[in-house]
Amino acid sequence: MSLDVDNAAQGRLEVVATPIGNLGDASTRMREALAAADLVVAEDTRRTGRLLTQFGVDRPLFALHDHNESEVVPGLVARMRDGARLALVSDAGTPAISDPGFRLVRAALAEGLRVTPIPGAVALIAALSVSGLPTDRFAFEGFPPAKAKARLASFQALANEPRTLVFYEAVHRIEASLRDAVTAFGAERPAFLARELTKMHEQCVSDSLGGLLEAVATGRVTAKGEFVLAVAGNPTAGDAEHVQVGASELMRRLLAAGLSRGDAARLVAGVSGLSRNDLYAATVDD
């Protein structure tokens, strides 16, 4: 459905990022959006109510969280269709990023309603910016599974991922998650752990995964607050992936130039170190 941004009577949804800790990070646009909203849709109305009070904003609040999102979205969309301006906020940071709000955003878009981001803090980006790990390509994995078996399996499935990996983790699971990360990625894998970003007791530590586990287990990194864990990608996996892609492209070009499949496979195997038989077999169905 097309977006009719010129319809002045149409309601809208503003996705409003709030500070992740330090209130000094609040933007002017954030304050204006909250003050202008007909309704502030919040993950925790008590927490958001305190935030609004600190900024001198008095607006109606409505709770939207993991347990009621599917149920309340139709009614919120109906209010926007009737012209209401809604501001969506989470407990901290950017809504719909490992927080409720995705279903509301999707429903508003499906109705052709205007959805506007009011950007601001997001913990994963703040952590990456000071991690010292490669950030040109990264994969955000959100919260790992809570159950130990599923968490370890999830980490093991990512062991060969060449991109930097970013996770959120709760305080009561951070040590267990680090132990599983050591098992899956290896104790020497470079990593970064951030705790309580932008807050008074912020801690940011760069070390190996084994070193981070020791730091948490011994109390050098305090087991309090909220955590972001970044893990370096597997450089060997990345190299192997690039070699495979390059070999496939070279095979394609040699075949297009008229070489036989066998001769092309022999030449590419010689420069790439890949199996001649595998290269030959990969082109049989092309």
Domain extents for the chain? 12-121, 124-233, 236-282
- CA 40: distance to chain centroid? 24
> Which residue ranges of the chain lie beneath pLDDT 70?
1-9, 237-243, 245, 271-272, 284-286
**CA–CA distance, 88 with 37 (Å, rounded to integer):** 9
Question: What local confidence, expressed as pLDDT, does residue 1 receive?
Answer: 40
pLDDT tens, residue by residue, 202-251 = 999 999 999 999 999 999 999 899 999 999 999 876 556 666 767 787 88
pLDDT for the residue 157: 94
Mean pLDDT for the chain overall: 90
> pLDDT value at position 286?
53
> According to the model, what pLDDT value does residue 246 have?
73
Cα gap 224→176, rounded to integer Å: 14
Report the pLDDT value the prediction gives residue 56, as an integer from 0 to 100.
Answer: 95
Q: Name the CATH code of domain 12-121 (choices 3.90.1150.10, 3.40.1010.10, 3.40.50.1820, 1.20.140.10).
A: 3.40.1010.10
Q: How many helices (H) and strands (E) does the chain have?
A: 11, 10
CA 153 to chain centre: 19
CATH of domain 124-233: 3.30.950.10
Q: What is the value of pTM for the model shown? A: 0.79
- For the CA atoms of 276, 158, 142, 131, the dihedral, rounded to the nearest 10 degrees, stands at -90
Question: What integer pLDDT is reported at residue 249 of this predicted model?
Answer: 79
| pLDDT recorded at residue 242 | 64
CA angle 47, 226, 100 (to 5 degrees): 50
Burial of 237 (0-12, 13-18, 19+ CB in 10 A): middle
Strands 227-231 and 190-195, sheet pairing: antiparallel
